[in-house]
Structures are given as structure tokens and as C-alpha cells.
Amino acid sequence: MPSSTPPPCVPLEPTSQPGPGLRDSFGRVIDYLRVSVTDACNLRCVYCLPARARFQPRDMLLTDEELVRLLGLFARSGFRKVRFTGGEPTLRSSLVEIVAATSRLRGIERVGLTTNGLLLGQQAGALRAAGLHSVNVSIDSLDQDRFGRITRRGDLRDVLAGIEAARAAGLQIKINCVVCRGLNDGEDIIDLARLTLVEPWQVRFIEEMPFRKSAHASAQHPVPEEQLLARLRAAFGELELLNGGRLDGEARVFRLPNARGTVGFISPVSRPFCGDCNRLRLTADGVLRMCLLRDEEIHLRMLLRGGASDQALLDQIKLAVIAKPWGHGLPDQVFPANRTMSEIGG
């Protein structure tokens, strides 16, 4: 967590029109950037972080100026959508200023945030005013005991208050639940899906992914989507498949009978959606990652601090897009090993 007041953000004035978007070597338009603003987190979810997690020293992280400069270059390269994540992004004390600077960039059309929601109660209004469009809030159980067992700390009531604040601020809301075998794959998914009967939200069930550095046994045997669907069908009746089965982002989407909202399934292991992947990831320490689940990286922080010109950085962004692999390597037993999900930015 940042220990002192960070330097103020330098608003970036766009100097040229954004480009039309970069195509990778497979013809995909890459126009979505996930940006981690800190690797630190105020939870220690058992599948994500060790109980005694250690975080990077402050000087390893991109400063606000460095980050906003890079975001301007991504916008110039044709990136249209930015999602801030972490670690826990609300721990970065300058998050509102970073969101404001990003939403002012010519070419950026959508700015989202993925958060555990604990601090959203205090920040939702300011984030919305800064230009944030949507929040994805992670909740793996609506039962305080199980929530505590999964997250090892934190109070579910604060998360729920955070969601209320997001609603009051007018932010679009999605709920993310990582399903872990034997932990929250029973009652919890029924409780979470039930929210969609009254709320207009999308509740998404995410398959647990295997990260070597945060090895969690159940990630070796993710719960298949079909099994979760069968449980929901038994509890609520037949679900309606929406969009003709086409993905909404990464999710296959259904509606429970008479529901206001929807349930989505994000199944990167059993139903990979790499063919539709349109994103790069920028870690809090300034590393560009072409695939969440592959270790190859391009180090931008060192270039930035070595005095690289805008053109040199634009060339690196282009190179990353060209180097983007077709898909992850899980079917070939290639597992991400150098970082945890929270060190990358989920």
C-alpha cells in the first residue's frame, strides 16, 4: 500500500488522433488494456495469495506520471478500453486521479475497475465523477464465515456497502465469483445466482486457473461449467441461453427464469476464448504481458526510466501486439510460473 502522498497526476493532453487499432499476427484487433495499479491487496484469498504475501517496494511501481504517459501512448495506438485492477486497485491513493486522466484521453471509450469492493463505499462517487463507467466486484460467497475462510480477512458487509455505493453512483455492476472445488461450488453459487432475480447485474462464475506461484490444489480440477449449470437448473429451473451462445466479453451468458439480471460463465480452462482475446496487460511494475497465462513479458519501466522516446515506447506496444500468442498453453501443460494473478492484474 502506498505509504505517503503520491505526486499529483500530470493530465496528458492528446497530441494526435488515436490510431485505428493494432492487429496482431492472427488478425485480432487488440484494443483493450488491463492495468494493474498496485500488486498489494487487503485480502489474501486462498487461491490467489499466500497468507504472508509480500508486495513490491514503491519504487518498483510505475509512478502516476509514468502510468498516464503510457496510457496516452496506448490510446494513440488505438486502445479503446481500459480496466484498472490489481492487487486491489482502490489501495492506490491516486486511483481517482488516474481514472480522471485516463477518461480524458482521446480514443478511450470505456474505463472499468475490478475490485474486491471493500473500499468502494468511500470511493464509488469520486470514481464515477472521474469518468469510471463500470465496476466488477469480486465476491466468492455471500456467507460471512465462508467469505472469511476464502479471503482470510475482510468483512462481507463492507463489500455489500461498496456495491450499494456503486449503485448509488450510477456505475454499471458485475459480480465475479471464482469457483473453487469443495470451497464454494455448492450453496454459494446458488446464493450468488439468486441475486440476479432482483438485481439487473451480471453474476459471473469464473473457472479457477492454475498459477504455479500461488499453487492451490483445487485449481488442478476446476469445476466444469456444465456441472454449475446443472446445479442452477436444479435450483431455479431451465436457464435461457442469451446472445445465441456468443460470448459477452469472456462470458457465456444465461438468464434464470424471470430474472432481471444474468449469469455468466467464464471458463478459460475448459472453454478457452483465446480466439476472441483483444487485450494486453500492464502490470503495476511496468511490464507488458501478452497473455495472462504465459510468462513472456516486455519491460517498459526500464525503458521509461532510461529516457525512451514516445516513438520507442509506441514501437514496444506494437511489438507486444505482434508477439501476442494465439492462446494459452494449459492444454500443453504450459503453466504461468513467474507471477501470481494479483502480481499480473486479473
Residues 259-298 that bind ligand SAM (CB under 6 A): none
The stretch near ligand SAM (CB under 6 A) out of 2-10, 25-33, 51-59, 202-210 is 202-210
Residues 189, 206 contacting (CB under 8 angstroms): no
Of 38, 176, 184, 267, the residue at the interface with ligand SAM (CB under 6 A) is 176
- Strand 32-36 relative to strand 81-85, pairing: parallel
Does 112 help bind ligand SAM (rule: CB under 6 A)?
A: no
Q: Is 202 in the site for ligand SAM (CB under 6 A)?
A: no
Rounded distance between C-alpha atoms, residue 68 and residue 133, angstroms: 18
Question: According to the binding rule CB under 6 A, does residue 159 interact with ligand SAM?
Answer: no
Candidate ranges 43-51, 162-170, 228-236, 312-320; the one touching ligand SAM (CB under 6 A): 43-51
Task: Say how far apart CA 107 and CA 87 lie, in whole Å.
Answer: 26
Q: Which stretch binds ligand SAM (CB under 6 A): 119-127, 158-166, 208-216, 311-319?
A: 208-216
Q: What's the CA gap between 113 and 182, in Å, rounded? A: 29
Q: Can you say how many angstroms the Cα of residue 23 is from the centroid of all Cα atoms in its chain?
A: 22
Q: Does 209 bind ligand SAM (CB under 6 A)?
A: yes
**Beta-carbon neighbour count of residue 196 at 10 Å?**
22
Q: Does 113 bind ligand SAM (CB under 6 A)?
A: no
The Cα–Cα gap between 135 and 131 comes to 12
| Rounded-to-integer distance, Cα 327 and Cα 163, Å | 33
Spacing of C-alpha 159 from chain mean position: 17
Nearest to 288 by CA among 263, 323, 261: 323
**Candidates 27-35, 40-48, 104-112, 253-261 — which segment interacts with ligand SAM by CB under 6 A?**
40-48
Assess 88 for contact with ligand SAM (CB under 6 A).
Answer: yes
Query: Taking a C-beta distance cutoff of 8 angstroms, is the pair 36, 300 a contact?
Result: no
Binding mask 211-250 for ligand SAM (x = CB under 6 A): x-------x-------------------------------
Choice between 151 and 316, CB closer to ligand SAM: 151
Of the residues 38, 85, 202, 283, which one makes contact with ligand SAM according to CB under 6 A: 85
Q: Considering only 188-196, 206-214, 271-279, 284-292, which stretch makes contact with ligand SAM by CB under 6 A?
A: 206-214
Q: Which stretch binds ligand SAM (CB under 6 A): 74-82, 109-117, 242-250, 275-283?
A: 109-117
Nearest approach, Cβ of residue 91 and ligand SAM (Å): 9
Give Dmax (Cα) for the chain. Answer: 60
Q: Where are the alpha helices (DSSP H) in the chain?
A: 64-76, 95-103, 120-129, 144-151, 156-169, 187-198, 225-236, 300-305, 310-323, 341-344
Q: Is the Cβ–Cβ distance between 317 and 288 less than 8 Å?
A: yes
What's the min distance (Å) between Cβ of 86 and ligand SAM? Answer: 5
What span, in angstroms and rounded, lies between the C-alpha atoms of 181 and 208?
9
Residue count at the site for ligand SAM (CB under 6 A)? 21
Interaction of residue 346 with ligand SAM, rule CB under 6 A: yes
CA distance 20 to 12: 20
Residues of this chain that bind ligand SAM (CB under 6 A): 41, 45, 47-48, 85-86, 88, 114-116, 138, 176, 178, 206, 208-209, 211, 219, 341-342, 346
